[in-house]
Structure 1
Amino acid sequence: MVAPESWQTKKDFATKRLSATTAPTTSFVKGKEMENPYNGKSTRLCLAFDIGTSFSSISYCILNPGEVPVIRNVDRFPRQHHADRIEKVPSVIYYDHAGKLWAIGAEILDPEINSEAADEGWIKVAWFKLLFGHKKAAKLSHHSPLPANKTKEDVLSDYLQYLYECSRDFIEDAHPDGVFLWKSLHGDAQFILSHPATWGGKQHDMLRGCMAQSGILPNSHMGRLAFVSEGEANLHYIMRHRHELGLDSDPKGDGVLVFDAGGGTIDIGSYNIIQWSPVVMEEMSVPESLMLGSHVLAVELRAMLDRVTDKREALHMYESFEQFTSSPVDQRIEEVHPEVVKMFDSCVSAVVQAINVQRKGNVSKLRTAFFLGGLSLGSRLCEKLVSRLRFMHIRVFRPEHLLGHAVSEGSISCYLNNHVIYRVARFTYGVKCTREFEQNDPEHQRRRRSAFVNPSGKVFLPNGYQAILKKGTRVSRDREFSWVFVHECNRKEETKTASCEVICYVGDLANPQWMDTEPGRVFYLTNLVPQLIGCKDKYRTLCAVRADVSNVPVFPLKRSAIHFTQAESARPFYRQKFWVVLSFGMTEMKAEVKWFEGNEERRSPANVIYEE
């Protein structure tokens, strides 16, 4: 793969620096062994990229058949400013106004680069990860605007390509015969991308597109791309280093709280330890994700400073903020600014509330918490949170000396040997459906004006909702959920393809039945016709499932003479019956179509499509 032209045309000082920082062969090829030998048939390269809001990291593993895999971390980068090893590189890119890339990642740490950026008026793009998340997160990124001709996908593609090039350079320099090793393995490499717990299929599609745009993976090879949530990556990192953390006693039956304070969010997840050796775990509750990361709080601080005209008060606010987030005890100021105290008290309250949600029904099990991410152990914020947790009889671990590659290293560990066998459904998942009219059902009577007759002569009501998987359900990795799809149509040509939408219900009903109303909603009369207040905000389309069903048997049938004219009854209609099968147990949702030919089950893959 050839680096972008803008990377090849750096200033002279960048080229000189490259030769000065090239590492001696094998000097830093160290890593942590996994527990089980690799059972694959051929040698493979596994690369994990952790793209954080502020900083990013890379880990990799060379999988040799019959050998215990060793995870290694990239800690030297081309064109870095100094010869020391660095665990993470800034998630920052400098572009000129034409959109040409001039500096990226480790290069940003060079004062000369920043000086030239100021002289040339380059655009500094940071926090671009927030553009892909929640709308509230995307709004925060306006503090770091994109060049006029660059999209968020362009920026992420550039950064992914940078990480890929850094991986190549490191492996070629660090291993004996590294150039040959890279050439022989990179064409079939397995890639793992980590992401926040709130990201789903829409973001997965975006990441696939960026991997293709960057030239790392063609669209036809997306089977070599896997996704891991940052929370589970952190969990697997902790389990790999459990002996270094002093977790030698068997905590079977105990719960573990994983607290990750990043630049954009604070993510909180809880896991129950089913078995200790080998490790087997399950999710205890739906993970919480709070928009209270360090960058979010810094933006709030900036807004506070903009309202202050007194320079001394502004300095007081800034020092107070630093004390809450990073300053150690010996650098503390005597009196903290009250507005900053109020901001962080609100943050602590929100975090504690989220922890209590995780503890609901599991109070006696949650006994250990791990603090990861950029939050300093000596900060006031960390002290406040630790104090609250200890009050809940939860012991707290903060493995500060091990954190540099926690997510990227944990991503590979999770991919190779996933310890989490049960997850908790985030939402109620279902589909829009029709319900056969029942004369004695009061709700059906209220809806009789909307009834219609299908080709077989049965009376149905529209706007029904059929739950497939209810929120809070424990889901194993191999458990499937399905619903029957009876397709009736007038033309045989309409039986070639089928599609439906998977819809999430986010309301409070335990068993939602209708998509246009809920109990307690008011009826309005419009032109003397009852109109129901809609509940569209309670139902959100997650994705569409589309499948080729041309191999599913089609049966021509006669129409009912009761509901159709003689001419209409003379024309047949066509019916197909199949099941749409969904798997929710992994990070990605999978879909298939199944049907029966006699007693034999048949299956065919289906496409899961997320709208822009």
Structure 2
Amino acid sequence: MSSSRSVYRGPHRKLVLAFDVGTTYSGISYSVLYPGQVPEIKGVTRFPAHEQISGASKIPTIIYYDRNGQVRAVGAEAMREGIYETAEDEMWIKTEWFKLHLRPKTEASRHIANEIPPLPLNKTVTEVLGDFLKYLFECASSYIQDTHVNGPDLWASVEKDIDYVLSHPNGWEGIQQTQMRQAAIQAGLIPDTRTGHERISFVTEGEASLHFSIQNGLPSGVMKQGDGVVIVNAGGSTIHVNAYSRNTKGVIEEIAAPQCHFQGSASVSIHARLFLEKLLADSPFIEDMDYIIQCFDKTTKHRFRSIGESQYIKFGSTRDNDATYGIRFGQLKLQGSDVANFFEPSVKSIVNAVVEQRNSAHKSISHVVLLGDFSDNDWLYIKVLESLRPLGLNVLRPENHVSKAVSDGAIYFYLGHFVRTRAFKMVYGDFSYIPYDSSDPGHGRRQDNTFLSVAFLTKADTLSTTDVMQKVDALNEEIFQAAALLGEMLQNTDRTIRTQEQITEAFEKARWMLGEQIANILAAESLNLHTNLNPLLAQVVLQIAITTWCRFVISSWKPGDTTAEGFLAAIYSEIRRVGE
């Protein structure tokens, strides 16, 4: 579903910044508005120390404070190599998940209260959020000045009158918005005046996701027949669920009360921690729990996709071994079924919420769009798809940077509000929906009161350096998991007796792939038929072999190469067949 964005008709150049402060990751989108030109939406894709982390245009929502309450490291800088040791030595305080301290204290969020890390002493949530907003502002300023033609002059012309869009979870209302506005004032984004307050707009993450979906997720015609669509924004801490449809006037209306559940990707980490704390309770490695969970978050949680495959969390060195707890060479082995259980509460939350939206909506619903960082997870997508498809629902996951859905959607929201009719969470009186009555003079007078002219920018995303790094990280993790699994399988396989001549011939062929030193070590071990192959050596060899093969396939491919294209097409077809 696409449309065109109208030109900006303001009297002077203007900058709009959208800050998506997520529980675990945060992002920035912006648009420089030029009079007489169609606005273009862009994202900040470069941050200090950004090369140290994975993620499309996002940084961790983390702040380190020293003992005096001064900010020492923020975002990707808080994840760089050596920062953990520095923080321990200098007694810095790590602050994360602080956004959740703003949440309404309702029954729905009561179960996570004990899991939210406390704020630093003598710091309020408004102050912490203000420090983070200040950092995002500085990152946006540096990026725009560095990447735009005449960037410093551009920034100087707009910095005193920037408009901001702050997104927040469904269900957050006046109290939370007041605290967020106060944080923006403390960050120096706006003055504490009426004019300053007017420069900040708020949008729910659900509505921002709808704006993004209209441009990037919904096939043409999905809402033209009057059917509804459910937007699921699965983020770090929360899962937002909204249902919308388009009426005969072309107006988008909310057709069911929005929902917000605290079962985002952080919930998976919480369940993993509970499981591992019980598993390693009597192990000396219990002291490494924080780092183990950090490694789980970076790798296993993102790559998990099969209940039948064991998963390995690489957290230590080759000297770290404890067979009793499934730890070998610094790798903790988990059963795929256990990892699947970590995801189950989140999967159930999404499925139940979608079903509730469909049951309570006053129009039929045929499509579900998955957005947000968490929706990138293949296992989550597969399980939601398996649960909703039998119910006649089509589940879509856009290809274009779903992690940018909220920040990009917030800019779309600013440029042209799309939702005009909302469903309230509660209703006072008897009627929630009143059908239009053409014989009622009052209805007749109001039938044309709502008019909407919508135009959205349509612009294809380009592949950024960060995207490539993310793909490489994903490939490296797949190689590690495959080598660990194959290495374990080899330990339980009978070794075929080979002659010296056969061994020599085999390793001469493999020498180009493995290198002289590894090939010689492997050949020497292979001569001893009564000793099991060193499992660490087996993993190293397998990783080298798989990596070399991947490099060979990638580097040898070129457009028009029918052999390589046929091979890759066959792989893609099989992946698609299995997925379906």
Q: TM-score range by the shorter chain?
A: 0.5 to 0.7
For the pair 1:281 / 2:245, whether they are aligned, the reply is no
Greater shift, 399-408 or 221-230, is seen at 399-408
Residues 259 and 372 in structure 1, CA contact (< 8 A), matched pair in contact too? yes
**For 1:508-548, what per-residue CA distance to the aligned partner results, in whole angstroms no more than 9, with x for missing partners?**
xxxxxxxxxxxxxxxxxxxxxxxxxxxxxxxxxxxxxxxxx
Aligned-partner Cα distance in 2 for 1:473–1:110: 57
3-state SS of paired residue (2:388): helix
Please name the residue that 1:104 is paired with: 74
Alignment of 1:109-258 (within 5 A): 109-135=79-105, 136=109, 140=113, 143-220=116-193, 221-242=196-217, 246-247=219-220, 251-258=224-231
For the pair 1:408 / 2:379, whether they are aligned, the reply is no
Residues 237 and 266 in structure 2, CA contact (< 8 A), matched pair in contact too? yes
Aligned-partner Cα distance in 2 for 1:125–1:149: 13
Aligned-partner Cα distance in 2 for 1:75–1:373: 17
For the pair 1:386 / 2:385, whether they are aligned, the reply is yes
Aligned-partner Cα distance in 1 for 2:115–2:341: 25
Give the AA of the match of 1:39: R
Where relative contact order (Cα < 8 A, 6+ residues apart) is larger, the structure is: 2
3-state SS of paired residue (2:38): coil
**For 1:243-299, what per-residue CA distance to the aligned partner results, in whole angstroms no more than 9, with x for missing partners?**
xx64367733121111111121111111112369xx631111001111211213322
Please name the residue that 1:295 is paired with: 266
Residues 174 and 339 of structure 1, relative CA distance in 2, 3 Å threshold: closer
Residues 230 and 312 of structure 1, relative CA distance in 2, 3 Å threshold: same
Please name the residue that 1:49 is paired with: 19
Aligned-partner Cα distance in 1 for 2:150–2:337: 60
**For 1:40-94, what per-residue CA distance to the aligned partner results, in whole angstroms no more than 9, with x for missing partners?**
2222111100000000000111112221111111111235446999500110001
3-state SS of paired residue (1:219): coil
Greater shift, 393-402 or 189-198, is seen at 393-402
Aligned-partner Cα distance in 2 for 1:252–1:333: 45
3-state SS of paired residue (1:367): strand
Please name the residue that 2:233 is paired with: 260
Once the two structures are TM-superposed, the CA of residue 305 in structure 1 deviates from its matched residue by: 2.9
Once the two structures are TM-superposed, the CA of residue 331 in structure 1 deviates from its matched residue by: 8.7
Unaligned runs of 5+ in 2: 312-333, 436-445, 451-580
Once the two structures are TM-superposed, the CA of residue 127 in structure 1 deviates from its matched residue by: 0.5
Aligned-partner Cα distance in 2 for 1:211–1:377: 30
Alignment of 1:135-534 (within 5 A): 135=105, 136=109, 140=113, 143-220=116-193, 221-242=196-217, 246-247=219-220, 251-274=224-247, 280-308=251-279, 309=281, 326-329=303-306, 332-333=309-310, 336=335, 344-360=343-359, 362=361, 365-375=364-374, 379-428=378-427
Aligned-partner Cα distance in 2 for 1:288–1:93: 29
Once the two structures are TM-superposed, the CA of residue 201 in structure 1 deviates from its matched residue by: 0.5
Give me the TM-score of the superposition, normalised by structure 2.
0.62
**For 1:318-350, what per-residue CA distance to the aligned partner results, in whole angstroms no more than 9, with x for missing partners?**
899987764134993299576765664454344
Give the AA of the match of 1:237: F
For the pair 1:40 / 2:10, whether they are aligned, the reply is yes
**For 1:113-153, what per-residue CA distance to the aligned partner results, in whole angstroms no more than 9, with x for missing partners?**
33322332211101111110133369547653322222211
3-state SS of paired residue (2:123): coil
Residues 50 and 178 of structure 1, relative CA distance in 2, 3 Å threshold: same
Residues 100 and 116 in structure 2, CA contact (< 8 A), matched pair in contact too? no
Please name the residue that 1:485 is paired with: none
Residues 209 and 409 in structure 2, CA contact (< 8 A), matched pair in contact too? yes
The structure carrying a bigger strand percent of its residues is 1
Residues 225 and 304 of structure 1, relative CA distance in 2, 3 Å threshold: same
Give the AA of the match of 1:58: I
| RMSD of aligned alpha carbons | 3.7
Aligned-partner Cα distance in 1 for 2:366–2:123: 47
Aligned-partner Cα distance in 2 for 1:288–1:326: 28
Residues 126 and 247 of structure 1, relative CA distance in 2, 3 Å threshold: same
Residues 239 and 210 of structure 1, relative CA distance in 2, 3 Å threshold: same
Residues 48 and 324 of structure 1, relative CA distance in 2, 3 Å threshold: closer
Give the AA of the match of 1:222: H
Greater shift, 149-158 or 192-201, is seen at 149-158
3-state SS of paired residue (2:29): strand
Greater shift, 193-202 or 414-423, is seen at 414-423
3-state SS of paired residue (1:111): coil
Give me the TM-score of the superposition, normalised by structure 1.
0.59
Once the two structures are TM-superposed, the CA of residue 426 in structure 1 deviates from its matched residue by: 1.7
Aligned-partner Cα distance in 2 for 1:195–1:58: 14
Residues 240 and 258 in structure 2, CA contact (< 8 A), matched pair in contact too? yes
3-state SS of paired residue (2:214): helix
Aligned-partner Cα distance in 1 for 2:56–2:31: 19
The structure carrying a bigger helix percent of its residues is 2
Aligned-partner Cα distance in 2 for 1:349–1:217: 41
Give the AA of the match of 2:213: I
Give the AA of the match of 2:214: M
Give the AA of the match of 2:355: N
3-state SS of paired residue (1:134): coil
Residues 117 and 204 of structure 1, relative CA distance in 2, 3 Å threshold: same
Give the AA of the match of 1:194: S
Aligned-partner Cα distance in 2 for 1:64–1:237: 22
Residues 476 and 386 of structure 1, relative CA distance in 2, 3 Å threshold: farther
Residues 176 and 340 of structure 1, relative CA distance in 2, 3 Å threshold: closer
Residues 259 and 371 in structure 1, CA contact (< 8 A), matched pair in contact too? yes
Residues 240 and 338 of structure 1, relative CA distance in 2, 3 Å threshold: closer
Once the two structures are TM-superposed, the CA of residue 373 in structure 1 deviates from its matched residue by: 1.6
Aligned-partner Cα distance in 1 for 2:124–2:448: 36
Aligned-partner Cα distance in 1 for 2:222–2:60: 38
Aligned-partner Cα distance in 1 for 2:54–2:148: 19
Give the AA of the match of 1:408: S
Unaligned runs of 5+ in 1: 1-31, 430-466, 480-612
Aligned-partner Cα distance in 2 for 1:212–1:477: 40
Give the AA of the match of 2:310: I
Residues 131 and 137 in structure 1, CA contact (< 8 A), matched pair in contact too? no
Once the two structures are TM-superposed, the CA of residue 361 in structure 1 deviates from its matched residue by: 5.2
3-state SS of paired residue (2:374): coil
